[in-house]
Amino acid sequence: MGYAPRVDRMDQRDLRVLGCLESSLRVSWDARGDDVVVRVAGEIDLSTAGVLDSALRRAMTAAVPGTRLIVDLNEVEFLGVTGLRKLRTACEECRRCEVVLMVVAANEEVTHPVHALGMETVLELRAQLPESRA
């Protein structure tokens, strides 16, 4: 069994590079102007969705009302239903906190399941990273 980092025990420096050795999911996040950008690479499935969820929750704590949490999924190779559920939950939580969650993806591995499940009505899906706001 591989080592999966516990995000809730990490600080911002540790969150710069997150990974799950067993699953090859890589998550990092950074501030870009007023925005928080979360970059995800690898496969988001049942075994890795918890890593994504923990990273999104931690990144949400850095976002303040009126800012954006941008989730860049352009390097995601697979997006399963569990990953979509985590994104939907994060989107709902961001709305309650007056933070806009945007999903950036131009790759079919992400856009196909989003559209197939009708999630484009829930997630703000963009093809490229928006301009940063200072």
Q: Which CATH number fits domain 7-126: 3.60.15.10, 3.40.1160.10, 1.10.10.10, 3.30.750.24?
A: 3.30.750.24
DSSP 75-110: EEEEE-HHHHHHHHHHHHHHHHTT-EEEEE--SHHH
Domain locations along the chain: 7-126
**Distance, CA of 44 to CA of 40 (rounded, Å):** 9
Tens digits of per-residue pLDDT, 21-50?
445 799 998 988 889 999 999 999 999 999
Alpha helix ranges (H) inside 1-125: 12-15, 49-62, 81-96, 108-116
Is the pTM higher than 0.85? no
